[in-house]
């Protein structure tokens, strides 16, 4: 039974990558550890089995979940400023990563869309007067105003309680805003901040990546040659954070985040991480501390359904933009919400049971059941890796 449990832990670990998962004895400990992952009541959870939509969120916060600034040594490794800088507002609480994944019925296939952080949208579920902005700001705006309200109403509120309630407001707003933009309901979410990403990447032992071109960026710390290479935890964070110096900036960064998830899924499969109980417990211990999910998500039931999911059956796209524009003094992406809703709903719809038998029927079928996902323009085509490690800019 323990070997089966390990196979079930695999997809949960992939979500934690993404993220960026009995018997008695050690098997019991693993089940207990998975059961302790969660912590948020920001949304009403959907089903844990069957088709479902999952939002992966990466928060740029330089603080832990209790509001404490990360240690200077960690900030330095992550090229994330200094403790003094964070205390003065460096970093904020925006969602640098938003990836909406649809798991199809049966759990063997999934499709995901990265949502560029600079997309200019109308918020939903936010606290405070600001109701429009870049989609990554919905979280931080709500967190800021909710914490301000709480300080006034409860002057003696503890820092950890303030941070928890502030983050809960941010999560609710981020999820609601994604739902408003895409037109689909989010059933579950998994969230990690910079410190959590770094700790998880250390447990994974770093990650294999492939770059089409050599890159050097002082802001993120990315300094990599072209081709396949292994990155340690700090380098992996630099890899997924870089946008300066890339042909399409933040849109190319979304491809790197997708490639990271593909690579982690591949490594977990081929390197036997989930058969190594020491690494397994270390991974789950870090997840319990750093990964936040909605409390109604039964990860064991979810894991049992998707234990056969592999990177070759997961395809990632980046939501298209219409162009760039300066809005309220900010460089932003102009988007077409109606077009985005059509694309997402089409991609998430079940495939027709019977394929068309002629080119004409195929064309009619596309009109009835879907809309083509753009493969050209700054968002590029799909990111998928048959060998587990896609090459990206």
pLDDT for 44: 95
As a whole number of angstroms, the distance between CA 67 and CA 59 comes to 13
Token pair of 52 as six digits: 């479902």
Angle at 311 between CA 266 and CA 256, to 5 degrees: 80
Q: Rounded mean pLDDT of 246-258? A: 76
pLDDT for 124: 97
> Is residue 355 pLDDT above 50, yes or no?
yes
Q: 168: phi > 0 → left, psi -120 to 50 → alpha, else beta; which?
A: alpha
* Angle (deg, nearest 10), helices 137-153 and 159-182: 140
pLDDT tens digits along 180-199: 999 999 999 988 888 888 88
111 burial (CB, 10 Å; 0-12 / 13-18 / 19+) is buried
> Is residue 365 pLDDT above 70, yes or no?
no
pLDDT for 6: 42
pLDDT for 275: 62
Beta bridge partners of residue 392, listed in sequence order: 211
User: 280 is in which domain, residue-wise?
Assistant: 2-392
Percent of the chain at pLDDT above 70?
Answer: 78
Token pair of 29 as six digits: 């400990």
Average pLDDT of the chain? 79
pLDDT for 4: 41
pLDDT for 352: 64
Q: Rounded mean pLDDT of 90-105? A: 88
Q: Rounded mean pLDDT of 320-338? A: 92
72-76, 258-262, 327-331, 358-362: which has the minimum mean pLDDT? Answer: 358-362
pLDDT for 12: 47
Identify the CATH number of the domain in which residue 9 sits.
3.40.630.190
As a whole number of angstroms, the distance between CA 190 and CA 44 comes to 14
> Is residue 55 pLDDT above 90, yes or no?
yes
* Nearest C-alpha neighbor of 13 from the set 390, 271, 187: 271
Domains held by the chain: number: 1
pLDDT band at 367 (very low <50, low <70, confident <90, very high): very low
List the alpha helices (DSSP H) in 313-369: 337-348, 359-369
> Is residue 25 pLDDT above 80, yes or no?
no
């Amino acid at each position: 039974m323990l070997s089966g449990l390990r196979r079930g832990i695999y997809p949960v670990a992939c979500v934690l990558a993404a993220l960026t998962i009995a018997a008695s004895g050690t098997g019991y400990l693993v089940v207990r550890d998975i059961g302790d992952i969660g912590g948020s009541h920001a949304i009403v959870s959907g089903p844990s089995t069957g088709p479902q939509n999952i939002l992966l969120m990466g928060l740029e916060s330089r603080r832990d979940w209790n509001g404490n600034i990360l240690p200077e040594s960690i900030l330095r490794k992550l090229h994330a400023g200094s403790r003094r800088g964070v205390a003065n507002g460096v970093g904020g609480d925006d969602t640098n990563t938003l990836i909406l994944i649809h798991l199809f019925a049966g759990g063997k296939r999934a499709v995901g869309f990265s949502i560029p952080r600079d997309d200019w949208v109308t918020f939903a579920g936010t606290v405070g007067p600001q109701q429009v902005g870049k989609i990554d700001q919905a979280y931080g705006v709500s967190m800021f105003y909710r914490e301000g309200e709480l300080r006034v109403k409860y002057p003696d509120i503890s820092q950890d309680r303030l941070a928890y309630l502030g983050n809960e407001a941010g999560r609710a707003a981020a999820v609601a805003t994604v739902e408003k933009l895409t037109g689909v309901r989010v059933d579950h979410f998994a969230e990690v901040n910079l410190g959590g990403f770094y700790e998880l990447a250390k447990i994974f032992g770093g990650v294999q990546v492939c770059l089409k071109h050599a890159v050097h960026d002082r802001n993120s710390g990315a300094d990599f040659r072209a081709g396949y290479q292994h990155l340690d935890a700090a380098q992996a964070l630099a890899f997924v954070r870089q946008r300066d110096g890339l042909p399409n900036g933040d849109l190319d960064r979304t491809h790197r985040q997708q490639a990271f998830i593909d690579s982690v899924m591949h490594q977990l499969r081929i390197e036997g991480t989930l058969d190594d109980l020491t690494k397994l417990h270390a991974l789950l211990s870090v997840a319990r501390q750093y990964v936040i999910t909605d409390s109604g998500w039964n990860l064991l039931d979810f894991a049992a359904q998707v234990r056969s999911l592999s990177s070759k059956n997961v395809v990632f796209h980046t939501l298209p933009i219409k162009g760039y524009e300066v809005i309220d003094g900010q460089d932003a992406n102009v988007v077409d919400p109606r077009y985005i809703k059509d694309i997402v709903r089409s991609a998430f719809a079940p495939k027709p049971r019977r394929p068309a038998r002629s080119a004409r029927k195929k064309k009619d079928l596309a009109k009835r059941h879907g809309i083509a996902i753009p493969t050209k323009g700054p968002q590029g085509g799909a990111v998928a890796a048959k060998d587990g490690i896609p090459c990206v800019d």
